[in-house]
Amino acid sequence: MLNNLIGFFQNAQFFTCLKGFFDILIIAMLIYAVLIFIKQTHSFFILWSLLILVGIGLLSKVFNLGLTSSFFESFLPSFLIIFVIIFQKEVRHFVEWFLRSSGKSSVNKIPLSSHVSHIIINAVDDLAKKKIGALIVLAGKFRLEGFLEGGWILGGYVSTPLLLSIFDPSSPGHDGAVVIENNLVKRFGAHLPLAENFQRFGDLGTRHRSALGLAQKTDALVIVVSEERGTISLARNGSIEQLSDIAVLQKIIDDFVKEKFPAQKAPLYNVFTRNIAEKAISLALAVAFWLLFISRSGVINK
């Protein structure tokens, strides 16, 4: 009886189409997860590696390369394990980002207030005029602990005198970074990871490389004051740029806060409005794979 019922569902045209729909949806979700992982961690070399592997896999199927196909099928689990081991830090931070995005994270961060942002801008302006080097990190949604080394935990209220005293050349923590989170100076004197592949941004000093390094790995906004030129630079989204005017900094910080801590909206709002391009690419690739491997081979009709 049970076998007859299962056979009915398997042979019914509607459920055959439904099976194909969920088949495509699952693959699209997996591709989307990979694209978002690459976008959030800025590990674009992973994308090229995956594209090469997928390309070889497709060629082996299209031209019926038996040895290559067998090799990929045999060693795919090993590739996945090696991938997780090599990029375990990026995978961990991606999972943390995903949990925060889905509203399941236990970490509730407070957005930067306008009062604190004004204090930061005044301090940065003063430091730039005096040509005192500084490195200020405004935390986004990512947890930064895994990317920070050394320094001292503070947890003090943000004030101009406090920031100026920390970056005073006679202070023991002036060479490190100040981390501002939940409207508090959470840490000072911290060392940030140095950037990789920074040559396209020109000749960067240690502070600028550190700021860019953190911006390549997290969603933080990092403000840099050069002690040689007294210029102000911003590192964010894996890039760094020099500001032409201190007045621009207020708008950039405001936009950063709005982006990282948006007003609460309906749960389905982000599903249909965020990462539209990535979702479209994922769905298109999933449909293409289905047509190439399933529909073409007639598996769906079996």
Q: Evaluate whether 207 touches 222 at the Cβ level (below 8 Å).
A: no
Task: Write down the pLDDT at residue 105.
Answer: 42
262 pLDDT tier (thresholds 50, 70, 90): confident
Task: Write down the pLDDT at residue 282.
Answer: 86
Distances from the Cα of 24 to the Cα of 167, 224, 298, angstroms: 55, 46, 15
Strands 152-157 and 184-190: antiparallel
244 pLDDT tier (thresholds 50, 70, 90): confident
Is the pLDDT at 102 greater than 70? The verdict is no
Of residues 266 and 159, more confidently modeled: 159
Backbone phi and psi for residue 266, each to the nearest 5 degrees, phi listed first: -55, 145
- DSSP class per residue in 37-48: HHHHHT-HHHHH
Of residues 74 and 217, more confidently modeled: 217
d(CA 232, CA 250): 13
Range of weakest confidence among 97-101, 143-147, 273-277: 97-101
Which of 133-137, 241-245, 256-260 shows the highest mean pLDDT?
133-137
Which of 17-26, 86-95, 127-136 shows the highest mean pLDDT?
127-136
What is the mean pLDDT of the segment spanning 19-39?
Answer: 81
Is the pLDDT at 104 greater than 50? The verdict is no
d(CA 74, CA 67): 10
Helix (H, G, I), strand (E, B) or coil at 222: strand
Span 160-193, pLDDT tens digits: 999 999 999 998 888 999 999 999 999 999 999 9
Task: Write down the pLDDT at residue 95.
Answer: 67
Span 200-228, pLDDT tens digits: 777 788 899 999 999 988 889 999 999 98
d(CA 220, CA 75): 37
What is the mean pLDDT of the segment spanning 141-161?
Answer: 89
Q: Please enumerate in sequence order all residues whose Cβ is within 8 A of that of 246, keeping only pairs 6 or more positions apart, or say none.
A: 121, 124, 125, 128, 232
Task: Write down the pLDDT at residue 153.
Answer: 92
Of residues 79 and 8, more confidently modeled: 79
Task: Write down the pLDDT at residue 103.
Answer: 43
Task: Write down the pLDDT at residue 53.
Answer: 76
d(CA 39, CA 209): 20
Structure tokens at 72: 């990929």
What torsion, rounded to 10 degrees, do the Cα atoms 251, 253, 254, 259 define?
Answer: 120
Q: Where are the domains positioned within the chain? A: 14-103+276-301, 114-259
Q: Which residue has the tokens 């000749």?
A: 203
Over the chain, what is the mean pLDDT? 80
Structure tokens at 133: 């080097």
CATH class of 114-259: alpha beta
Strands 221-225 and 232-236: antiparallel
d(CA 241, CA 236): 9
Q: Evaluate whether 224 touches 235 at the Cβ level (below 8 Å).
A: yes
Of residues 293 and 241, more confidently modeled: 241
What is the mean pLDDT of the segment spanning 84-96?
Answer: 69
Bridge partners (DSSP) listed for residue 241: 234
Bridge partners (DSSP) listed for residue 138: 180, 221
